[in-house]
A and B are shown apart, each in its own frame.
Chain A
Amino acid sequence: MSNEGRQVVIPGQILGETSALHPGRGTYVENRKIYAERLGVLNIQDKFVHIIPLRGRYDPIVGDFVIGVVEEASTSNWMVDINAPYPALLHVKEVPWEIEFADTEKYLNTGDTILAKVLSIDESKKLQITLKDRNLFKLKDGHLIEFEPSVYRRIMGKKYSMIENIQKYTRCRIKVGKNGRIWIDGDPEEIEKVLAAITMIEREAITFGLTSRIEEFLKKDAKDVR
């Protein structure tokens, strides 16, 4: 394994020619040459050049699990902030409860946190989310922290190894939204530790061997392991 870390690319950087490679996510083509369109890490797979972003707003995709904060309750829907460039709409038909007309505030009110799924995105980027699925619900108590959405995959780890480790060593209930939000419930001291681990992952996201370093960090003063 190389110790140099992954290759960081910047906008306008030339990545190759279309005769040898195919342009993938985060790239654009001009005069048969492939260029990077954003700051990120270079990833070439099956001749496809992708840029895995290092920074930037959450870009919603249908089916993503996200953690939202209710901003406003109207008579037949809620507006929810899901950390995307646009607010998301949650219609009363998309929640698991029977709601009488204009009774929305009884179920979800401003400031409430929910674990939801992105239902649809139209061409002008109008977002809709849903609570009608298994494992989707209102999150009560707990703490909500934000992270750089681009490091979501590192926080989960390969086959969820990273997040499972964090849960194992801190005994916290954790829900991770793809939109750069984590909800944690547990002992205040342990929550501090999760926070420290997340900050570390965010900072060292482009390095190799992160999972084992985080495990070491968590092991150091773990009380009892589940």
Chain B
Amino acid sequence: MKSDIKLITDEGKRLDGRGPHDLRKIKIEAGVLHRADGSCYLEWGGNKVLAAVYGPREAVPRHTQNPLKAIVQARYNMAAFSVEDRKRPGPDRRSVEISKVISEALEKVILTEYFPRASIDVNIEVLDAEAGTRCAGLSAAAVALVDAGIPMRDIPVACAAGKIEGQVVLDLGKEEDNFGDADLPIAISPRTDEVLLLQMDGHFTVNEFNQAFDLALKGCHTVSEIQKKAILEKYQSVVAEVQE
């Protein structure tokens, strides 16, 4: 889409002052909800996401149960007030798709065979949206799963790269997403670099795609470190407190 907005200045700065390879500011807090088995609150630039995990618990209705392993049911939902114009509440085509791809990404790392017939429910609530909510949602869900004590092979993490003004950049902001040329969100298992989710919107050349993929991969590893720090912090703060 052509527009008269200039997304990258002549000095190579983006609209919010970031360089092409910079992430937005990320803040993660684990265990924020009292009722849920595990939870996480995440801020990623202007995105505010809350994730809650329930289970493993018996899956209902019965016919959804798998006698050999647990099913993972993620539910991605945007709050009515999360976008500029009110979002009509309830699941729509977009959120059903995102719920599905996130469920499948999480299922790959969770050791579901430990809980036959059970269901692990992940609720992802987007409170404030500013491009990249599926990455923010998945990363928050991963921390909430760890907080719930669910056995997993790894802590999954997601990050996006994109193309604006013909240049490959990391982690698109709102205007960059709306007026840019392409967006490539990926989720990986950071230990093995296995890809758990890969979607693409817009057009890349093969060369640009590879560039964007490598950039997003690097971004994932940066976010992964923040996730790990957030989980450990929650438990180590108690140790420090008692020492005093």
Contact = CB atoms under 8 A, between A and B. Distances in A.
Interface of A: 3-5, 8, 10-12, 26, 28, 35, 37-40, 53-57, 85-87, 123-125, 150, 203-204, 206-207, 213
Contact of B238 (A53, A57, A204): A204
Given A12-B190, A38-B150, 8 more contacts: A8-B232, A11-B109, A12-B152, A35-B191, A38-B152, A39-B147, A125-B118, A150-B149
B238 A203 contact: yes
Given A124-B67, A124-B116, A125-B115, A12 B239 contact: no
B118 A85 contact: yes
12 contacts: A5-B236, A11-B146, A11-B153, A12-B190, A35-B153, A56-B150, A57-B149, A85-B56, A86-B58, A123-B116, A206-B239, A207-B238
B38 interface: yes
B236 A125 contact: no
B242 interface: yes
B153 A37 contact: yes
- For the complex, would chain A's binding face be called helix, strand, loop or mixed by DSSP majority? loop
B148 interface: yes
Contacts of A87: 58
Contacts of B242: 5, 204, 207, 213
B117 A124 contact: yes
Contacts of A5: 236, 238-239, 242
B232 to A, nearest CB: 6
B154 interface: yes
Interface residues of B, number: 35
Interface in B106-164: 109, 111, 115-118, 146-155
Given A12-B154, A55-B147, A125-B117, A207 B239 contact: yes
The 6 closest A-B pairs by CB, nearest first: A56-B149, A55-B149, A12-B154, A5-B239, A11-B152, A85-B56
Nearest to A148: B149
A10 B151 contact: no
Contacts of B207: none
B146 A39 contact: yes
A25 to B, nearest CB: 11
Interface string B52-82: 0001111000000001000000000000000
Contacts of B56: 57, 85
Nearest to B233: A8
Nearest to B111: A37
B228 interface: yes
B194 to A, nearest CB: 11
Interface string B217-244: 0000000000010011001101100110
A7 to B, nearest CB: 10
Contact of B149 (A12, A38, A204, A213): A38
Contacts of A54: 149, 235
Contacts of B148: 55-56
A56 B31 CA distance: 13
Contacts of A11: 109, 146, 151-155
A5 B141 CA distance: 28
A57 B152 CA distance: 14
Nearest to A51: B151
Contacts of A125: 115-118
Nearest to A31: B192
A53 B38 CA distance: 14
Given A57-B56, A124-B67, A86 B117 contact: yes
